[in-house]
Amino acid sequence: MNRLVTLILLMVWSACAQTATAAQERVLHFHAEITVHPDASLTVEETIAVQATGETIRRGIVREFPTRYTDSHGRTMEVGFELIRVLRDGHPEPYHVERRQNGVAIFIGAKDVFLAPGQYVYTIAYRTTRQLGFFAEHDELYWNVNGNGWRLPMDQVTGAVQLPPGATSFAGRAYEGPQGSTAGFDLPSGESRIFFASTRPYAPGEGLTIVVTWPKGWVTPSDDAPTSLDDLGRFLVAPQALSSPTATAAGLGLVLALGYYVFAWIRVGRDPAPGVIIPRFDPPKGFSPAMVRMLFHLGFDTTAMTAAIVNLAVRGLLCIKDTGSSSRSIKLTPPAVPPALPPGEAALWEALSARGRRHVRLDGSDHRVMRAARTALQHALEKELAGAYFRTNSAWTLPGLAITGMCMVVIGISTPQFPAFFFLCVWLTFWSFGCIAMLRQVWQGWKSPLLRQKAAATVLAVFSIPFLGAFGHPLFAPTLVNSPPLTPPKAASYRRKSHPFPQPTPMNTSRILFVVLLFSALAACAPKTVIRSKPPEPRPPQERVEPAYPRRIPGTEAPMPVGPQERPITEPSQPDPVAERLAAVLRTAPDWPTQESSGMELFQRQWETRQYLAAMNTLALLYGLTTEEAARASLESLALSRAQTLPPAERDRMLSGNAAWLTFPWNLVAWAQIRAQVAEDPSRLEALRPTLETILSRGGLVNTRVLHDQLLALSQRGGQMLTTDVFFFLPQSGPYAAISRRILLGAELAAEELKAAGATLQLRVIDAAAPGALGELTMLPAGAAVAGPLRKEDWDRITQAGLHRQLAFLTFFPTLPAEGQDGWRLLASPEDQAQSLVQAMELFGATAAAVLYPQDRFGMAMAPLFTQTLEAAGGHIAQSASYDPAEPAAWGKIVARMLGATDKESSYPLPPFDALFVPDSLLKAQQIVAFLHYYDAGHLLVLGPQLWGQATEAPELEKEIFRLAVFPSALNPATPQAQHLAAQAAAAGAALDGWLALGYDATRLVLRLPAYTGDPARFSADLDAAAKTMNWTMAPIHFDAAGRAHQALIPMQITTEGLKLPDWEALRQLRDQRIQKRNAAHNPPQS
């Protein structure tokens, strides 16, 4: 009866409100009837009256129910959800349910039925479990009534909570507003039916949450999970668990895997019986000491390396020298006739004596040399001993792993939490290996007769207790994971994002963990393989110029007094024949590889003997011998890293009176000196900043990225940086998620480098696709700069909510309404693309062009824009034509008509244009270019949009036909900055592209910005000033006085070796060759 009355009141109220709300799509009234049952379940009936205009509500509405959340203890909780009925205006309505990552979504309405504009009343009834909190003195319902994910405004939200018969409520509370709001009102006490209503209309993203409590004894907690260890065995073999497909697959997989491993162990796992033991006093013939050690130890270790080095010393090839209390070195003495060495020792000797090396220090300074030598020896010994003496039987593990993998697939498909299940599979496997390795170390230590080894084993055993406890945690997981949610006594002290969660499956998370643990333990018993470590890559680099360093660096103090620990190192007066010989080779070598090799050897020798000034002069000489940017950047990196390790007095000695202090490498020595002074006293940054900026702007350095990072870190320490947070607003699911991941990877790489330079920052990502995303934006600090959004619909929501007035959004759009007022851009505009293409025509020597564009939105926008830009630059459009993108069979005729050709064999004059602009995707443009070659028009310069850059590595792309084609790009892969970022991306398992570079540069730019005060003009000026201090990886962006972004895009050419800057002279020669070939074909010489 109550429901009928409520429905009638809603319909009457809706009719009265029709004239006031007909102009805007909205939720007119949201009413929830919540009934608490004695068995701790809830029945909820939601009645939702909406005004539909066809803008968002076309076929019906979508209601989302989160069914998964993390409680205050960090545990993932899931609740039951059972849909009872769905009505529209009191009649059954079609619907379908889709499972989301954190719950379900109900799509109400038929796909082929569109609603007429008007008012509708929807009714959704469902049952849910595990929603109540149980405490010592009371029980509690904490309920988000309407959810915070609605994108429509709500005029009113009401509801009622019906308690079990006989129960009356304690004092309650309601909270309204965006997620996290504490504003609200009190609910009445002493009632069995508690009614509540919102005090105001709600904007999108706002909602109503209630807290109702009542005495204990009226509701019985659910017992769908064991509550003690005594129930564990009964729980694991419960009929409902054993009857599930997941449990069957797990049990069968365990039996099969265990049976197979036992069979494999019986066949090949047991060692052969030991033979007769004969004592030996010399290594067996053909065995080196290192080989004997490896056979005895059943693996390679440091002792094998030591044995090989000592044996080389016995052979007279090297001498181990003790040069001090704790310093030792190896002196290599190669004989005139190289002796025959075993393969392992031969590899070791080759690694130690590479590049003519004669000394190897053992104090850690030559750790890379020793590591390379160790790796070479290990590989050679393993190759020599493999098969004959070591048999891993690796192939026998494959069937066992296949059984495990198939069972895991079956379990994963049948569990509703597949991402979590997959993560736990991987994590527990590695965890199992680690725990078993620790236990093995403990066991071996206890078996040792040495007291020291036993003590170490005891310490390791104590250390491993927490890890072993976590290893056995799945035994207890059912009790912890499936227990009712623990709710603090005061609901206002915590928040969860929404309400509902899914029914526990028969094979729940706990038992899945337990099965995965057993499979992981079996996998840990498989034969082990040797994991070889790769020697570390050399650190990346930086570069140089001219002016004059007076007595000291401008702004610095007088030369520091010489202390006992910092006395300048004088150059040794003893002549060094080896150094003189290397210097002579450096000055007379005809090629750069020889110069680099001898110069670096000389530098290293001088630095090791503390001839710092001479070493820096050697770097300066090397720097002047090459013009390659990569080589110069490497020398800059080396000079900066070494300068930072020098004592301040030594740096001052190098710089005092040095008239060339602004040239390489003295500019980097000066930088290191100033940086050290500012780090000691941050208040001096303002006085010294002009000198640092002079080095950046006039130092002639190839790559100033590290210097910019260090200056940023110094600014933070000096209190001049207003933010340490970098916010990104990007979708983490849906079709744009892949692009978001590329942008965020670039941001993470930038953050790692900035932190390494001493900067303080934190990346914070707001999922634009998540419900309540706007609510998270409202909680950001006032005036914060946000990188994003990426989707137009997200920007529409931001502007509708007025958030662009509080925050500065650096959007990833090529165009933006009210740019410089509502937001700013970090992507190149169509105008930037057209300017770059016109520039390419000028460099190619073409003044007339044709346009062949698709009849779609992008093509019809770019064609007139290119025409306008070309005509403004003095060129002209000779022809313009369009084609239907859906009719590729007709494209050939359109191309022939533009060229004036009737067929391939007919002769026709050259077309009156030198370039052809095709604003379409690269793969579609490929067909157009193919028709140009077919009709002997391959001499035309083909121009494409920036869009081409997203498909240059497509497998179906024929790069050869694009030899005479260019397109604008924001990224030049050949620059030192791009090469550095490409190396960083490769280390992270990714490839460099424009999106990754965009995230990388956006992070650095945001960190340089002051807070947004609400004045767009002032922020535009701040943005342009920050952009000018950037060492951009992409083409630099600048912002005009109106806040509009401009990016000088780079014309790039597609080649079989990748993207390259065009060689315009070579392209003009190719054009002329093709024209001559065409003329010869159409006008053969007369006999």
Q: What is the pLDDT of residues 694-719, one digit of tens each?
A: 887 788 888 777 777 777 777 765 54
- pLDDT on residue 743: 95
Between 395 and 905, the more confident residue is: 395
The pLDDT of 186-208, averaged and rounded, is 90
- Residue 4, pLDDT above cutoff 70: no
- Residue 222, pLDDT above cutoff 90: no
Pick the range with the lowest mean pLDDT from 413-422, 496-505, 659-668: 496-505
- pLDDT on residue 244: 56
Highest mean pLDDT of the ranges 156-160, 372-376, 760-764, 782-786: 156-160
- Residue 730, pLDDT above cutoff 60: yes
* 852 in Cβ contact with 1066 (< 8 Å): no
Report the Cα 190 to chain-centroid distance in Å.
54
- Residue 619, pLDDT above cutoff 60: yes
pLDDT digits (tens, 9 = 90+) for 199-212: 999 988 899 999 99
Model confidence band, residue 1039 (pLDDT cutoffs 50, 70, 90):
very high
Model confidence band, residue 560 (pLDDT cutoffs 50, 70, 90):
very low
Pick the range with the lowest mean pLDDT from 95-99, 277-281, 630-634, 861-865: 277-281
Between 820 and 706, the more confident residue is: 820
- pLDDT on residue 718: 53
- Residue 232, pLDDT above cutoff 50: no
Alpha helices in 718-769 (DSSP H): 737-756
- pLDDT on residue 571: 45
**Which tokens sit at 887?**
């009719």
CA distances from 854 to 851, 860, 1058 (A): 10, 7, 27
Q: What is the DSSP letter of 386?
A: B
Model confidence band, residue 552 (pLDDT cutoffs 50, 70, 90):
very low
The pLDDT of 1051-1070, averaged and rounded, is 92
Comparing CA positions, the residue from 925, 900, 915 lying closest to residue 1068 is 915
- pLDDT on residue 472: 59
The pLDDT of 1010-1028, averaged and rounded, is 90
- Residue 688, pLDDT above cutoff 60: yes
CA gap 959, 948 in Å, rounded: 12
- pLDDT on residue 567: 33
The pLDDT of 937-963, averaged and rounded, is 90
Residue 605 three-state SS: helix
- Residue 1010, pLDDT above cutoff 60: yes
- Residue 1081, pLDDT above cutoff 50: yes
CB atoms within 10 A of CB 133: 19
> Mean pLDDT across the chain, nearest whole number?
79
Model confidence band, residue 2 (pLDDT cutoffs 50, 70, 90):
low
- Residue 1045, pLDDT above cutoff 90: yes
With b for 16 or more beta-carbon neighbours within 10 A and e for fewer, the 910-942 pattern comes to bbebbbbbbbbbbeebbebbebbeebbbbbbbb
Q: What is the share, in percent, of the chain residues with pLDDT greater than 70?
A: 78
CA gap 845, 838 in Å, rounded: 11
The pairing of strands 876-883 and 848-854 is parallel
Pick the range with the lowest mean pLDDT from 353-357, 591-595, 762-766: 353-357
Report the Cα 811 to chain-centroid distance in Å.
19
- pLDDT on residue 859: 94
- Please, which residues bridge with residue 811 across strands? 825
pLDDT digits (tens, 9 = 90+) for 356-404: 777 787 777 777 888 888 888 888 888 877 656 666 677 777 887 787 7
- pLDDT on residue 741: 93
**Which tokens sit at 706?**
């590290």
- Residue 523, pLDDT above cutoff 90: no
CA gap 738, 740 in Å, rounded: 5
Pick the range with the lowest mean pLDDT from 173-182, 624-633, 685-694, 741-750: 685-694
pLDDT digits (tens, 9 = 90+) for 92-101: 999 999 888 7
- pLDDT on residue 633: 85
* 508 in Cβ contact with 482 (< 8 Å): yes
Model confidence band, residue 324 (pLDDT cutoffs 50, 70, 90):
low
Pick the range with the lowest mean pLDDT from 482-496, 856-870, 905-919: 482-496
**Which tokens sit at 236?**
């694991």
- pLDDT on residue 72: 55
The pairing of strands 76-78 and 80-88 is unpaired
Domains of the chain are: 2-215 (2.60.40.1730), 223-270+393-487+505-536 (no CATH), 299-389 (no CATH), 577-717 (no CATH), 725-827+977-1042 (3.40.50.2300), 830-969+1057-1079 (3.40.50.2300)
- Residue 686, pLDDT above cutoff 60: yes
CB atoms within 10 A of CB 398: 10
The pLDDT of 220-240, averaged and rounded, is 47
The pLDDT of 860-885, averaged and rounded, is 95
The pLDDT of 518-537, averaged and rounded, is 41
- pLDDT on residue 536: 34
Question: What's the pTM value of the predicted model, to 2 decimals?
Answer: 0.45
Model confidence band, residue 228 (pLDDT cutoffs 50, 70, 90):
very low
**Which tokens sit at 73?**
């203890």
* 361 in Cβ contact with 608 (< 8 Å): yes
CA gap 1004, 985 in Å, rounded: 16
Q: What is the share, in percent, of the chain residues with pLDDT greater than 90?
A: 30
- pLDDT on residue 572: 45
The pLDDT of 428-438, averaged and rounded, is 76
* 917 in Cβ contact with 868 (< 8 Å): no
Q: What is the DSSP letter of 684?
A: G
- pLDDT on residue 1083: 66
Q: What is the DSSP letter of 1084?
A: P
